[in-house]
Amino acid sequence: MTATARLDLRLSARDRQRIDRAASLAGLPLATFVRIAVLREADRTVAAESAVALSPAESKRFLAALAKPFVPNAALRRALKKGEDLGV
């Protein structure tokens, strides 16, 4: 990995000691430990915001809507026509 970006942050002495200890226990350099922990939390946060949970009733309605043939409304038909006219 070639690192090109930098992230600086201020910590209390107590927080720094906690992180140093955890990195040591994990057998990792401090920067590696922090990068792994931050990326893990970033992935968890993004996944939590990206997932949609449906109730059983909502799930049935969603699947029923998917099973219906799609019929574009007038606005979509106009947009599609405009796209064709533009060569898109």
pLDDT tens string 36-49 = 999 999 999 999 99
27 phi and psi angles, rounded to 5 deg: 70, 30
How far is the C-alpha of 6 from the C-alpha of 58, rounded, in Å?
44
The answer to whether the beta carbons of residues 29 and 35 sit under 8 Å apart is: no
pLDDT tens string 42-69 = 999 999 999 888 999 999 999 999 999 8
Average pLDDT along the chain: 94
Total-model pTM:
0.59
pLDDT tens string 6-33 = 999 999 999 999 999 999 999 999 999 9
